[in-house]
Chains A and B, each alone.
Chain A
Amino acid sequence: MLGNLKGLLLTLKVMRREPVTAQYPDPSKRLPIDKRFMGFPALLWDNSNDEPFCTGCMVCVRACPTQCMSAEMKDNPKFADGTSRRRKIIEKFEINLSRCILCGICVDVCNFDAIEMSHEHELSKFERNGARAALPQLLAMGKKYQAETTWQPKQPEKNLGKPPEKPATAPQPEKVGGVVTS
């Protein structure tokens, strides 16, 4: 009987504690989202040159385990002007956010620091296909992510689009081999 009574005492003790749950939209009780939290992927904006980082190279599209992304690239008009180092730029990009498993592999394989897992994790839409995010929405998510966090490109000297002072033919960014970065 003692075991039972000890159990009763425990629940009585617990009754006096603060509840650990909170009601959902209560903004004061949201769990803080960690810096490393992997939400839905978002495309990042190169503020130094006013264009997306993404060049449409399709490495992330191929690496995605669920094949939830599709992309199309186009010739970068800014490259023709000489105002950018990127030869190609993204034209169309679509991620089916319902299929994305938030694994972060697309971020790992991207060579251009163009995609990052944002902190968006709430996905409710009124339309059936509402979770298919196109380029404007992805760029908006990326801009929101950059505003919220102190995101900086991992390899700025390689990936920032602003051409160097000498307006000669812009050099191709050096391809560093496929070595896994820490």
Chain B
Amino acid sequence: MMLNLGPQHPSTHGVFRLVLWLDGERIVRAEPHIGYLHRGSEKLCEREDYTQIITLFDRLDYVANLNGELAFCMAAEKLMGLEVPDRAWYVRSILCELNRIASHMLFYGVYGLDTGAMTPILYGFRERERIVLLFEAVTGARMMHNFIRVGGVKQDLPEDFVQRVNKLTDELKRGIEECDQLLTNSELFLARTKGVGSIDGPTARDYGCTGPVLRASGVKEDVRVSEPYGIYDRFEFGIPVGSNGDCWDRYYIRVEEMRQSLSIIEQAVKQMEPGPIQAKVRRIARPPKGEAYVRTESPRGDFAVFLVSDGGDKPYRVKVRAPSFANLQSITHMLRDAYIADAVVILGSIDIILGEVDR
């Protein structure tokens, strides 16, 4: 029987079509179809200047916006050989790690919904709301920030930022503990996710998976550690690595990453010193002719930008390496011998964002 987990489905995390061939409840073959959210972002980048492109990158991975903006700005800065001041890097790191927590909170909520629990989503969004309110105070917008610019950030932090962040980290610690208590050790959740959708390290690497999906299979790979960028070498944090490669590992790695992000934020707030927040750069950046490839660790994995510039104020070509695109390919491997109910749980555990899969 052919079942269409069609583009309009409450659990496909966006417009994604998964065609399943079933034998009773078992999946015999799975065929993912993407492209329903293709907006031509990379082509649009060719006719917009560098400040306008940041608004496009906001909307690629629309949950972890600042990480996308950061990757693009780093690519342009690498081309121009621009030294970004330290304070700008601290602001960028704090905001990106907060965005990581927000993104993982959304994953937690939605994953609870995928397994059938209807309350984690509200708890997750409650915590996310705290972070998003802080973003509004800093960047002016709750989601599409347009804040990280080539050479630094757009504005300095508000005066009460440090006390707000300290209060926020305390509240988030409590929130993460609550979320943990609700789902992580619940035997019903374990029954749904342990041993389900497992993928081993070499296969995951072959598929090009990165981020929590790869780390769940036991591969200790994190861009912040293997190719550190910015000031990530000044922080001491942990990289959670799983061993089974199943859904529970992927889920718990994200919960643990939230805690590690909190520790990074605390260290950054302590180390941050006053200073300039933007390098001396023209309002419309004009990188010289050349190419640059920059990798960053977004909440979903290795978000990389390949920027080709011809010297003008608009890039010649921008190629986005979206982590969800590569991670999604592994779903055919994970869905072998699974049930339909598992299909939803496995898809949820990869944590895709269709905005960056389809661009």
**Residue in A closest to B283 when the chains form the complex, CB atoms:** A178
* Count of interface residues, chain A, beta-carbon cutoff 8 Å: 30
Assess the B187–A3 pair: CB atoms within 8 A: yes
Q: Would A36 and B278 be within 8 Å (CB), given that A3-B190, A105-B55, A109-B283 are in contact?
A: no
Pick from B58, B188, B282, B284: contact of A4, CB under 8 Å: B188
The answer to whether A103 and B181 have CB atoms under 8 Å apart is no
| Contact assessment for B55 and A103 in the assembled complex, using a CB-CB cutoff below 8 Å | yes
CB-based contact B155/A7 at 8 Å: no
Q: For residue B144, which residues in chain A have a CB less than 8 angstroms away from its CB?
A: 101-103
Could you tell me if A6 and B185 are in contact, using CB atoms closer than 8 angstroms? yes
Residues of A within 8 A of B184 (CB): 3
Task: From B15-23, B133-141, B238-246, B315-323, give the one contacting chain A.
Answer: B133-141
CA distance A102 to B59 in the complex (A): 13
Choose one: B137, B183, B276; the contact of A182 (CB below 8 Å). Answer: B276
Report yes or no: A6 in contact with B51, Cβ–Cβ below 8 A.
no
In the complex, A171 Cα to B182 Cα: how many Å? 69
How many chain-B residues does the 8 Å CB contact rule pick out?
A: 45
- Bound CA span A3–B137, Å: 38
A65 within 8 A of partner (CB): yes
Tell me if A36 and B188 are in contact (CB < 8 A): no
A103 x B282 contact (CB < 8 A): no
Give CA–CA (A3, B186) in the complex, Å. Answer: 4
Closest A residue to B183 using CB positions: A7
How far does the Cβ of A9 sit from chain B's closest Cβ, in whole Å? 8
Let me know if B298 is at the binding interface, CB within 8 A: no
List residues of chain B with CB within 8 A of the CB of A7: 181-183, 186
Which residues in chain B, 116-157, are within 8 Å of chain A measured between CB atoms?
A: 119, 123, 126, 129, 133, 136-141, 144, 146, 149, 151, 154-156
Binding site for B on A (CB under 8 A): 1-4, 6-7, 10-11, 14, 20, 31, 34-38, 63, 65, 101-105, 108-109, 117, 178-180, 182
Seed contacts A11-B119, A37-B140; 7 additional CB < 8 Å A-B pairs: A3-B185, A3-B187, A20-B126, A36-B138, A65-B48, A65-B56, A109-B283
What 9 pairs across the A-B complex have the smallest Cβ distances? A3-B185, A65-B52, A38-B140, A36-B140, A178-B283, A103-B146, A3-B186, A103-B55, A34-B137
